[in-house]
Every structure is written in C-alpha cells, then in structure tokens.
Amino acid sequence: MRSEPRFTMPATTASATRSPTTPTTPTTPTTPTASIRANAGDDAERLSATAGFVREQDTSVLLSRVLPGLDGPELRALTDQCRFAHAAVLVFPPDEHALRTDLAACGLSADGQAQPSVVVRDRLAARHRRDPADLDVRILRPVVRGPADERRAVEVFALTVPPGSGLSRIAEEERGLDHEAHLAFDVARPDPLVLRGLLASFARHGATADGGGYNPHEDGTVFYFTAPADTKTAYRRVELYAGGDHRDVLTEHLGRPLASAGHPRPPGGPQPAETLLWLLTGAWTTQALAACARLRLPEAMNGHTGIDGAELARAVGAHPESLATLLRYLAMLGVVSEGPDGFRLTGVGALLDAETPGSMRPLALMYGGPFYESFAHLAHTVRSGRPGFEHLHGENHFDHFARDPELATLFDQSMASSAVMFDLLPAHPVLTAAATAPGRPRTVVDVAGGTGELLGRILTAHPTLRGVLLERPQVLAAARTYLAATGAGERCRYRAGDFADVPPGGDVYLLSRVLHDWDDDRCRSILRHCADAMPRHADLLIVERLLPADTAPSLATAWDLHMMCNTGGRERTADHYARLLAEHGLELAGHTPLALGAHALHARRP
C-alpha cells in the first residue's frame, strides 16, 4: 500500500505567463470542460462539473491521459512519485455571496475568507489590457474526496463581475477559452533528483515548461506545463507542486535565471559544476540498483508496509550502517521510501523483485555487471570503432555469453525483462488479419526469438495462428519450456540455426530487437535472408527503438551508445530502416509506437 502524501496546494504568489491556448475537445465523459462550455453562463454547472471530475479521477489513469505516450513502467514510476491534487476553474459571480451560494449548490464547502489571487488577476489584466486594480479576483479551495477517500480540492478562482459592468466581455471570453483551467499533481518525495526526473518525463512526452514560482510563505515550489498536443484531457495546463525550496530546479525548468530574495544563486542559473557532478553520479546509480538486486532487498521488503533498517540488514546479511547509506540513496532515487514504520518498496523498486511479474532484476544485474565493465572502454570504442566489450574480453558478446551458461541464462532473462514492450504488439493489424484470414492456419516465424516471450504472447492472443521459432540450439530448450507453460507449445515448431536458416513459407515474420545488434552490412545480410524466405504475400514486423530525427530525449539515443560499445550495433531512424529494407525489395509501410520507447515497423513487398 502506498501512503498518501501530505496534501498541499500551489503557491498563490508564484507567477507564470502563457499564451492563450484553446483547450482540446475532451475525449471522455469525465472531462468537465465539455459540460462547462455547454453551460457557459452557469457558474454552478462549471463548479459541479469540475468537482465531479476531481472526485472521480484515478491518478494513474489521469496521468496516462495527460501524457498519452507514457509506457507501463514509466507510468508506474510517475504514479508512485506524484498524486492528483486538484483541478482549477475560473468563475464570474456578481459578488462573494453568490459565489458561496453556487459552491453550496454543488456540495462544496469553503470555510474562511476568500483570498486575493494576484497571479490570476495579473494574467487577466495582461490578456485583456486592463488595469489590475479594476479586477477583483479571489481564490477558494473547497475540499473534495477522491475514489480512495484521499483529500483533494477544487481550486476556484472568482473574478467578481457586477451586473451591468464592463467586465462581462472578459467573463464571456474566459468562459469560452478556459485559460485558467488546469490540473495539479503533488510530488510525494520532492528531492532534486526526483524532481528532475519528473520534469524530464513531462518534457519527453511533449509537455512544455510554462512558468512556475516559489512561495516562501508556505515553502513550496510550483512547476507549470502546457500539456502536449495529443493530450487526452481538455485541460491544456498542468501543475506540479513540490514542498520546499527548489529554485535551482525551477531555474532549469524555466530555462533562465530566477530572482530569489534571500537565496542568492550564481548569475545565469545553476552552476555548471553542480550539473556536471550530478551527471557524473550516473555510474553510482547503476551500481546502487545492481547492489539492491544482488542483495535481494526487494524480496526481503516485499509484503512489508514498513521494515526497520536494522531488521532488513539482518534479513539480507548486510552491515547495518552501510545498508542505511545505500537505502538513503535508493530513497533519493525513488526506489524505496522511508516513513514512520521504516522502509518500503515503491513501484519502481518492486520491479527489482525477482518474483514480480515483469521483473527487471536481470537487467539490473546485466547493466551493473558485464555491460558496466565494458562501458569502462567506451573511449576505446569511440577511438577505434570497435566494441569495448570485445576489447575487454577478446571476443564478441554473443560468443562470450555462449561459452558461459550462467551468463547466457542471465542475458536471456534480461531480454525477457523488457517484454512489457510487447504488450500492444499482438493487437497489430498484421497479426489480427493473419489470425482471422479464411482457409488454412497462418504461420508466424520468429527469427532469433529468444526464449519465446513474444511468440508466446502472439499465439496466446490468437489461437488460430501457428508459430515457428528460429534460435540457437542452447536457447531452444528454455523456449520449449516457456511456450509449453503458456499452452501454445503444441502450435509451435522449433528450428535450430542462425540467420541463414530462416524457414520459408511463413505468413508473418518477426525480427524483434535483432537488427540493432549489428552494423549495416550485417543487417543487410539478415534482411536478405528474410526477404528470400518470405512468400510474396508475407509481412515482416520489426521491433526496435527508433532514433528521433532531432535532439529530443529518447531511450533510443541511450541504447545507441550501449549497442555501439557492447555489440558493435546501433539504433536507427525510421528512414534508415526504410533504406535498408528497400535494398531487398521491401518497403516500410509504417510504424506504430510500443512501450519502453520501441516501435513496430511493418515491412512488405510493394
């Protein structure tokens, strides 16, 4: 169980500016803006719609709608780090008595005096070219309860519009565009590293920085975003609230220096030396996660809502003081959290538990072990163009793993750890069409398909399909065991061999996370073998991460460096794959996003 974070509201003195943006059309009935606009003249309806929205929302679902590109693990991480706190609405009562009457009609109770809202007042004045002194804007935060009885609020901004006043036109325009409507999330563990990760996640999925500020009166920092263009809510503005003074992080968010009375900062923003120091600690993070996995801390903590550090040290056989230091660092990363009852796993930390479905423990051991060692030779790779892994071990990583059964097993398990990227693939139109085609059963050929994780998912989702798995002899035994456990083993044939042995006669061919292991010449050879085996009607599905066409943050950019250093391979853009496919008579018909930054590329003969 996750403990609920302290309920805090955003700073009323934090300022931000933004350009007017028309909210997008809502896509679900729970988005209040549709009913708000339909009843533009009735503030009670607007308040009621917003209150209903706040009461109904699940944080995870709402985050997935605000940032539609979130994959499963990243969504779980964000959900563990922040909670939906409130939605804001701007209304236009003739006086405060009318406002409270409307609130009462919606079942909203606002105790205490409404306070001036300088931020909204100044934004309205700037947009409508009015003297701020002419605008009486107040703020109230009536409390509502969420689905799990968590404390939330409706943030009500009220511009007083007396009957017959010249402010009616402002009210009409603002009701139609809802500039001040926004969603807010509270950050549960607001340390700088977590905040930077949250801000990076929002930016990576298309949200753009839209102001922010620090309120010394309540010691809290606000980060504003404009939602991405493909957001699935009608809200175009999103707020993150973090308790404490985080003006250094805020300066980075704003992309410019931020004045901060009483807290001098170096001119021009954060010190480059501090930024570099944070970047240099990346290796420590890798080893901390690997140590967490090796010590089996997640398994020892599983089932505990809180466990004392000394008790945990006894459970895993660790030195108590040293473990306490590691736990403090893991808490900063959001892998564990500390409360009155001791330490507990977060959603991120649970993925390092070997027994968790979709466990990523093998990845932590690989990245903190063999691949960590080879990355020490990255400079050699850049100088010579040869993989650091080969420089370290004197052979390529496939041959090296093949001679070490324990390491080979760990590698196969680490590949399966990322199987969440396959969640959406069985529903791909190519596979659905093959499964529903009349006549004979269609066959899916998985080339270098590992232990059968992907093929098993496809055959389980489509009982009419048959499968062929091409793999190295030493991997096929594990694949038979895995596929038998899925119940799809009887519909699958197994073929031992390499890329030259791609079986002919299939209807759909799969190359999942294969091509990025190799340079272009080797990719051409693999694609030639596939094209030669494919009947005229067959389709090819390639699962890979795609490099962005610009400098946008991407998992593919990180994996491009990894492949270069460890296998001599690379990630590629969609256009690059299209050129390689065209050399063998195949065209790239399109590509669709999957989880973990992957894409399914569909190729076929013209």
Q: Determine the 3-state secondary structure of 256 from DSSP.
A: coil
Residues 196 and 88 in one domain: yes
The CA R_g of the chain, rounded to the nearest whole Å, is 28
CATH number at residue 526: 3.40.50.150
Most confident of 71-85, 433-447, 589-603: 433-447
Tell me the pLDDT tens digit for each residue of 246-278: 887 887 787 643 333 333 344 444 567 877 888
User: Buried b vs exposed e over 230-262: b needs ≥16 C-beta within 10 Å?
Assistant: ebbbbbbbbbbbbbebbbbbbbbbbeeebebee
Residues 304 and 227 in one domain: no
Q: Confidence class of residue 42 from pLDDT cuts 50, 70 and 90? A: confident
Q: Determine the 3-state secondary structure of 601 from DSSP.
A: strand
Decide if 528 is inside a domain: yes
Residue closest to 506 by CA, chosen among 525, 493, 487:
493
* Domain termination residue (choose one: 304, 333, 368): 368
DSSP state, residue 352: T
The per-residue pLDDT of the chain, averaged, comes to 84
Residues 285 and 248 in one domain: no
Decide if 163 is inside a domain: yes
Decide if 415 is inside a domain: no
pLDDT at 11: 30
Residues 443 and 569 in one domain: yes
Decide if 373 is inside a domain: no
Q: pTM for the complete prediction?
A: 0.57
Most confident of 19-33, 110-124, 216-230, 505-519: 505-519
Decide if 520 is inside a domain: yes
Residues 78 and 120 in one domain: yes
* Domain termination residue (choose one: 350, 368, 386): 368
Residues 286 and 250 in one domain: no
Residue closest to 564 by CA, chosen among 520, 510, 597:
520
Number of folded domains in the chain? 3
Decide if 399 is inside a domain: no
Measured CA distances, 348 to 78, 309, 405, 408 (Å): 9, 19, 29, 26
| pLDDT(535) > 50 | yes
Q: Confidence class of residue 494 from pLDDT cuts 50, 70 and 90? A: very high
Which tops the pLDDT comparison, 334 or 563? 563
Residues 436-448, mean pLDDT to the nearest whole number: 95
Residues 156-169, mean pLDDT to the nearest whole number: 86
Tell me the pLDDT tens digit for each residue of 345-385: 887 888 899 988 778 999 999 999 999 999 999 999 999 99
| pLDDT(24) > 80 | no
Q: Which domain holds residue 361?
A: 280-368
Quick one: what percent of the chain has pLDDT higher than 90?
47
Decide if 488 is inside a domain: yes
Residues 463 and 526 in one domain: yes
Q: Confidence class of residue 183 from pLDDT cuts 50, 70 and 90? A: very high
Measured CA distances, 557 to 285, 546, 550, 598 (Å): 19, 9, 11, 12
Residues 142 and 227 in one domain: yes
| Residues assigned a catalytic role | 516
| pLDDT(492) > 90 | yes
For residue 89, the cross-strand partners are 156
CATH number at residue 168: 3.10.180.10
Residues 358 and 496 in one domain: no
Residues 244 and 307 in one domain: no
Residues 250 and 287 in one domain: no
Decide if 125 is inside a domain: yes
pLDDT at 271: 63
pLDDT at 217: 60
Q: Confidence class of residue 66 from pLDDT cuts 50, 70 and 90? A: very high
Residues 197 and 301 in one domain: no
Tell me the pLDDT tens digit for each residue of 199-250: 888 988 888 888 787 776 667 888 989 898 889 988 889 999 998 888 878 8
CATH number at residue 313: 1.10.10.10
pLDDT at 445: 98
